[in-house]
Amino acid sequence: MADVSSATDFHALPAELKVNVFAFIRTKADKKLTCLVSKEWRALMAPMLWESSDSRFMPTHEGLNTLL
């Protein structure tokens, strides 16, 4: 059974320390799951989730016509 006081202790940490803890989460799937825990965790984790995203979007002529 989980210790309730340890969860409360983590909640009381400053945001900077929580971000340091979240930096140890490596896989994109785990980062996504962390974002689902709470609004606070999402606000802290979302920038880390998107910093490693692949931004090589190469639109094609057909793709642009579809968007328009």
Q: Read off the pLDDT of residues 21-42 as tens digits, 9 standing for 90 and up.
A: 999 999 989 999 999 999 999 9
Q: Using a pLDDT cut of 70, give the percent of the chain over it.
A: 65
Q: How far apart are CA 20 and CA 10, in angstroms?
A: 12
In contact, 18 and 44? CB cutoff 8 Å: yes
State the chain's mean pLDDT as an integer. Answer: 80
Give 3-state DSSP helix, strand, coil % of the chain, rounded to 5: 65, 0, 35
Q: What is the pLDDT of residue 2?
A: 59
